[in-house]
């Protein structure tokens, strides 16, 4: 199984994680199926963002409204593990819903995963694609 995402989007995710090495950064993956057309940085509202992430609910509401108006669909999200590995943690597994794509940055690596049933993940092969004209990455607040 594969995830298609542009090199520019992966670079934006890496840059966000590098810019905030002490806190988990997070954002939405927008697209269709397993093809990311946009990454959208979101504010992490977790009680302790040094060890957890929670995407700002308003960002999710806005993304779902935009999708209903014809924009790309929320297919998953990304987040960083500042002191961990680029693989799902026990906390990630507890929060996962089947069918979601998870991109995780940690230990200098970026990996992609498909949540199967809330406890298990399959690793996705990341296929990078050329960036398309227009906004590929939208900023947000961490």
For the chain, which ranges sit under pLDDT 50?
133-135, 141-142
Global confidence as pTM: 0.90
The pLDDT of residue 134 is: 41
Neighbours of 47 (CB within 10 A): 7
Q: Are 31 and 75 in contact (CB under 8 A)?
A: yes
Q: Which residues are catalytic?
A: 24
Domains of the chain: 2-127 (3.40.140.10)
Neighbours of 20 (CB within 10 A): 15
- Residues 79-117 pLDDT 10s: 999 999 999 999 999 999 999 999 999 998 999 999 997
Q: Are 28 and 37 in contact (CB under 8 A)?
A: no
Neighbours of 94 (CB within 10 A): 10
């Amino acid at each position: 199984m594969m995830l298609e995402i542009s090199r520019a989007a992966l670079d934006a995710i890496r840059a966000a994680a590098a810019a905030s090495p002490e806190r988990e950064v997070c954002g939405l993956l927008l697209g269709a199926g397993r093809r990311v057309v946009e990454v959208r940085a979101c504010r992490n509202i977790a009680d302790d963002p040094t060890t957890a992430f929670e995407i700002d609910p308003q960002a999710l509401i806005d993304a779902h409204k935009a999708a209903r108006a014809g924009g790309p669909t929320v297919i998953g999200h990304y987040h960083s593990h500042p002191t961990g590995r680029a693989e799902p943690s026990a906390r990630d597994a507890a929060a996962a819903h089947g069918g979601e794509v998870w991109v995780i940055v940690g230990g200098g690596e970026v990996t992609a995963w498909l949540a199967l049933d809330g406890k298990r993940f399959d690793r996705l092969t990341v296929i990078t694609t050329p960036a398309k004209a227009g906004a590929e990455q939208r900023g947000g607040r961490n």
